[in-house]
Amino acid sequence: MTDLDSFNYSFMINAIRLYFEYMDDVFFHTSYRKSFCKSKGFYKRTILTLFGEITFKRRYYFDKNTNDYFFFTDFFLNLPKRKYFDPFVCAELCNESSSTSYAKAGIIVSQKIGKRINNPLKISRASTRNTVISFHINDENCIDNEIKRVERLSIMLDEKFVGSQFNDRKDHMIKAAVVFEDTKLVYKKKLKPNSMNRYRLVNSHTCASIENDLLMSVVDYIYNNYDISYLKELDFMGDCATWIKSFPKTNWFRFHEGMNIKFGMDGFHFSQALTNLTTSENQDVYDALYEYVLFNKKEDFVRLTNEFLDLNMDRKDTIETKRDYILNNWNERQTYQNTPYMRCSMESHISHIFADLFTSRPKAYSKKGLKQLLKLRLLKINGKDIKEQYLNQYRNKEIINQPNKLYRKRTYQNNIIEKKFRLLYGKDSI
**For 83-133, what is each residue's pLDDT tens digit?**
899 899 999 999 999 999 999 999 999 988 866 656 678 899 999 999 999
Higher pLDDT, 335 or 403: 335
Could you tell me if residue 229 is inside a domain?
yes
pLDDT of 56 over the 90 cut = yes
Could you tell me if residue 373 is inside a domain?
no
pTM of this prediction exceeds 0.85: no
Average pLDDT of span 145-149: 83
pLDDT of 197 over the 50 cut = yes
Average pLDDT of span 281-305: 94
The rounded mean pLDDT for the chain is 85
Of the listed ranges 74-78, 230-234, 403-407, the least confidently predicted one is 403-407
Could you tell me if residue 220 is inside a domain?
yes
Average pLDDT of span 214-229: 92
Of the listed ranges 153-167, 337-351, 356-370, 397-411, the least confidently predicted one is 397-411
Could you tell me if residue 378 is inside a domain?
no
Could you tell me if residue 372 is inside a domain?
no
Say if residue 329 is in the same domain as residue 194.
no
Higher pLDDT, 274 or 166: 274
Say if residue 85 is in the same domain as residue 101.
yes
Say if residue 78 is in the same domain as residue 173.
no
pLDDT tens sequence across 13-26:
899 999 999 999 99
Say if residue 241 is in the same domain as residue 354.
yes
Could you tell me if residue 36 is inside a domain?
yes
Could you tell me if residue 113 is inside a domain?
yes
Contact 203, 120 (CB under 8 A): no
Say if residue 348 is in the same domain as residue 281.
no
- Say how many domains are in the chain: 3
Say if residue 70 is in the same domain as residue 174.
no
Say if residue 16 is in the same domain as residue 135.
yes
Could you tell me if residue 177 is inside a domain?
yes
The boundaries of the domain holding residue 333 are 267-343
Say if residue 354 is in the same domain as residue 212.
yes
